[in-house]
Structure 1
Amino acid sequence: MHKTLLYLFITMLLIGCKKKLTKVVSYHDNGSIKEIYYIDKDSIEHGEKISYFPSGRVYYKTYLTKGNYKDTVYYYRDDDKNDIKFKKFFLNNDFTYYEDFYTNGNMGQKGVLNDDDQRIGLWKNYDKDGNHHFTKEYKIIDGIEYTNQMWITLPTGDTLTEGVSIQYHFDKNKLQLTDSIYAFFQTEDSAFDEEDKEKTTVSVVLPKDYTQANFVPDFSNRAKDPGEKEGIPAIEIQSLKEHPNPMAVLQNPIDTTDYKKTVAFYWKPKRTGKDTIRGYFKEKLTLVDESKPIQLDKDQDSIITSYTKRIYFEFAVEVTKD
């Protein structure tokens, strides 16, 4: 008896709520339904919303709460199967979680989009058989989506030594003002081919004085190279190969450390509070073409061409008093 009364109460409540919403239907030029959604007394969308292709197939469907997309939005293909092509879920920070799918239903890729629909962070990509193929890390640099790193993987999950990536770590994220952070960077795989990567040099670029001017999140205020006048002053820390005593810099030094592709240093804070260490790892290839002399400068008898790959990083720290 109590269950029956509860069921009747819920039914009446749902009917009462539904009466407060007005169904809205719009149409394509061909007469087929374009959209169906509901609005409340203030003309704010609430509840289920379905959009259709001119063919009559579902284009997308979702559920709105007081005009906001608080639920997953499912987008469909305009074909006979009319299956899901991709879906989005709107996160609280105005970012969007995204997944898309192959026609066989297996996932293609997944990751997070910012409010400009640019990929950020780690994105996983899969082949048509559902195997994890590779992972890309995206950052927004100068306002543009930038592929920062990439790792290629086997179906077993093992990482291949292909792609463009580095390994790096800071030994602590909380420290006192008199302390320092140890930083270690090393190329996992070069941005250049097997022959050229033997000619590359690596370094890490940081703001010269972050208390005066730090790199902004999209690094748009950086100098394109430390020697350039535009952008905030920066310092460039060369690889251990250029260091007079690399063993003094390395923590727990090991014989297998490749000094040519490794940068290690100590970072000392200059103020208390929360900070962010921003910088980039730079791999540079310089080619000299001695077969094409430059006539304008008698002291320069060859053409020098350089190519640079930058991998950007940021690391949050908290500094306390002694």
Structure 2
Amino acid sequence: MKKILLTFIITILLSSCNDISKRNSENKTVEYYKNKTEFKRITHYENFDSVHYFYRNGNIFKRGKQLNEKQKLGKWILSDKDGNIREIREWFPFKGNSRLNQIWHLNKKGDTLAWRYEDSIYKQKEFINDTVSRRGTSYDVIYFNRDTLKLNEPIIGYVEIFSHLITDHPANVRVLLAREEKNYNYDFSNEKEVQLDTFFDLTKDTINQKWYKGAEFNDLATFGQWYDTVGEKTLRGFYQQYFMGPTELDENGMKIDSVIGPKTFFEHKFIVIDSIPKK
């Protein structure tokens, strides 16, 4: 019944061109946009907008959050015309715009695909070109030990690589973590002012090898940070794959000194308190 009602509402809105309607409530404003190329609903909250694009049959094409029209935020969900989730894109606000950080492709059953072969799976004229350059799924894992810490207790995490972006050479991974006193801005716009600590994978970090038996040491890096003040914290940084040469001469007679992969950014919000109460 809800789907029928939604389709009915959308049909009415689509009957007029360039239509914008608003509905206000105590803590949000909802706007409906319709023109010749798209129909979307934007819900304005205090700190972000929630955006939904719709197919003409009433099903959702994509949905996610944004800070403004240029800055997508977090995970956006994309579905085909039949309502099957086919793609998840993770966006970071980045220097006034947004940056595609990771992507996951799925088949109609919801199983994760390593690679999506189709040029487009969004078969409606308005959305058919909504594709990105990356068709490979990100399988990397990033883990943090907790969301609430006691004072003088470290936040600990690790990154494990499963999406190997450097295939021609034996690659390693490193994590670069911003210090609390010189942290990244929310959109990573202050890159030149940030102070970073570097954490290398287990081929160099031999102390932590004992905790990860069976792991590929060149694909896993642990990292951490201590705090001496209480309150809400945001840990920001990035990891990247890399290869340091030099190598033998390549097919063109050139030596390769190094190969550096793209940065994958992350942030983790948590709280530091004086003490954790006993249960």
Same fold (TM over 0.5): yes
1:176 aligns with 2:113: no
Gaps of 5+ in 2: 1-11, 115-135
Residue 172 of structure 2 corresponds to which residue in structure 1? 201
Q: Verify: 1:319 aligned to 2:277, yes or no.
A: no
Distance 1:128 1:304, change over 3 A: farther
DSSP 3-state at the match of 1:247: helix
Distance 2:39 2:257 in 1: 47
Alpha-carbon offset, residue 182 of structure 1: 2.4
Corresponding residue of 1:126? 79
Report the Cα distance in structure 1 between the residues aligned to 2:93 and 2:248, rounded to whole angstroms. 34
**Structure 1 position 270 matched with structure 2 position 228:** yes
Residue 268 to residue 65, structure 1, CA distance change in 2 (3 Å): closer
Report deviation, 1:216.
Answer: 1.5
State whether structure 2 residue 249 is matched by structure 1 residue 290: yes
Which of these residues, 203, 212, 216, is aligned with residue 185 of structure 2?
216
Q: 1:164 touches 1:191 (CA, 8 Å); kept in 2? A: no
Which residue of 1 is the match for residue 206 of structure 2? Answer: 244
Alpha-carbon contact 2:241-2:261 (below 8 Å) kept: yes
Looking at structure 1, the residues matched to 39 and 68 of structure 2 have their Cα atoms a distance apart, in angstroms, of: 17
Aligned residue pairs total 240
Deviation at 1:89, TM superposition (A): 2.3
Equivalent residues in 2 for 1:1-322, closer than 5 Å: 57-65=16-24, 70-77=29-36, 85-93=38-46, 95-161=48-114, 162-192=136-166, 195-196=167-168, 199-207=170-178, 209-210=179-180, 212-222=181-191, 230-248=192-210, 250=211, 253-255=212-214, 257-285=215-243, 290=249, 302-304=255-257, 306-321=259-274
8 A contact 2:149–2:273 mirrored in 1:
yes
Letter paired with 2:17: V
Could you tell me how far 1:127 is from its partner in structure 2? 2.6
Residues 77 and 185 of structure 1: is their aligned pair in 2 closer, same or farther, counting only changes over 3 Å?
Answer: same
Change (3 A) 1:60 1:165: farther
Please give the secondary structure, in 1, of the residue aligned with 2:112. Answer: coil
Q: Distance in 2 between matches of 1:321 and 1:107?
A: 45
Counterpart CA distance in 2 for 1:144 and 1:70 is 23
Structure 2 Cα separation of the partners of residues 180 and 187 of structure 1: 23
Task: Summarize the Cα distance change of 1:306–1:59 in structure 2 as closer, same or farther, 3 Å threshold.
Answer: same
What is the aligned-residue RMSD (CA, Å)? Answer: 3.2
Give the 3 Å change call, closer, same or farther, for CA 102–89 of structure 1 in structure 2: closer
Partner-residue secondary structure (3-state), 1:245: helix
Distance 1:184 1:65, change over 3 A: closer
Judged with a 3 Å threshold, the aligned counterparts in structure 2 of structure 1 residues 220 and 132 are, in CA distance, closer, same or farther, namely same
CA drift of 1:51 comes to 10
Tell me which amino acid in the other structure corresponds to 1:282: Q
Measured in 1, the distance between the counterparts of 2:257 and 2:79 equals 40
Larger Rg: 1
Q: CA deviation at 1:114?
A: 1.7
* C-alpha distance in 2 between matches for 1:131 and 1:182: 36
Higher RCO structure, 1 or 2 (CA under 8 Å, sep 6+)? 2
Q: 1:104: Cα distance to partner?
A: 4.9
Secondary structure at the counterpart of residue 93 of structure 1: coil
